[in-house]
Amino acid sequence: MPESNDNTDLSAKFRKALDDNRKWWTESRVTDALRDISRVLAEIRDLDGHDLDIHIDWSGGASENAFAMIHGSKTVPISGVLHIGNRKHLLAISTQEGGNSVLKLYMSRFAIDQQGNRNRKSKDTIDENIRAICYDLKKKDGLDTFRDNVLNYVAKAALIEECDTHDSFGKNRDKPREIRKYKL
C-alpha cells in the first residue's frame, strides 16, 4: 500500500460528501427538523422540577429497527435513540413516502428496551413490526404534539425519581454508597 502524507484527496472527498448531504438535508428540511427538535428538548431540559438526562443519539442513516417501525416505500436519512433518563425511544425522520415529499418524525410507542414486537410472515421472511407514533413536521401541531408526548414521559420519570427516597431505582447506582456498620 503506498504511503502518503498528503490527505488532500481524502479531505476533498469528505468535503464533497458533507456538501452533498447538507444540500439534500437542507432541501428536504431535515436540518430544520433537527434544529427544531434540538430546541424543544433544550426547553424541556431547562424546566424546573427534574434533573433528568434528555438527549438524542442520532445516526446518519436508518437503522434496521427504523425500517421495522416505518413500513412501505420510504426514505429515512437519519434515525436515533431518544433518552429520557433511563427510558429510550427509537426515532426516525422520513423525507419520502410513496414517492411523495414528506417530513415526518416517527417515535416508537414504547420504550425500545422493554418493547415487544409483532412479527409478520410473508413467504420465507419474518418481518419485525415496531409500533410507532408519527408526527407530521410539515404541520404546525406535529412538533407540538411530539413535545407534549416527551414532556409527559419526562413528568412520569421525574415523579418516579421524586419517589426514590433511598436511591434504589437505578439513577444513582454508580454512586458510592455509605456502608453502615452495626454493633453486635
Q: What total of structural domains would you count in the chain?
A: 1
- With cell 428540511, the residue in question is 29
Q: What range defines the domain where residue 64 resides? A: 16-160
Per-residue confidence (pLDDT) for residue 107, from 0 to 100: 96
Residue 80 lies in a domain: yes
Grouping H, G, I as helix, E, B as strand and the rest as coil, residue 21 is helix
Residue 8 lies in a domain: no
Burial class from Cβ neighbours inside 10 Å (0-12, 13-18, 19+) for residue 174 reads exposed
Residue 86 lies in a domain: yes
Residue 168 lies in a domain: no
* Residues 107 and 131 sit within 8 Å (Cβ to Cβ): no
pLDDT in 10s for each residue of the chain, 184 residues: 555 556 789 999 999 999 999 999 999 999 999 999 999 999 999 998 788 889 999 998 888 888 778 877 789 999 999 999 888 999 999 999 989 999 999 999 988 877 655 666 666 665 667 889 999 999 989 999 999 999 999 999 889 888 888 878 766 555 555 655 666 6
Per-residue confidence (pLDDT) for residue 14, from 0 to 100: 95
Residue 24 lies in a domain: yes
Distance separating alpha carbons of residues 156 and 151, to the nearest angstrom: 9
pTM of the model: 0.81
Distance separating alpha carbons of residues 128 and 137, to the nearest angstrom: 26
Residue 45 lies in a domain: yes
Residue 178 lies in a domain: no
Per-residue confidence (pLDDT) for residue 123, from 0 to 100: 67
Residue 110 lies in a domain: yes
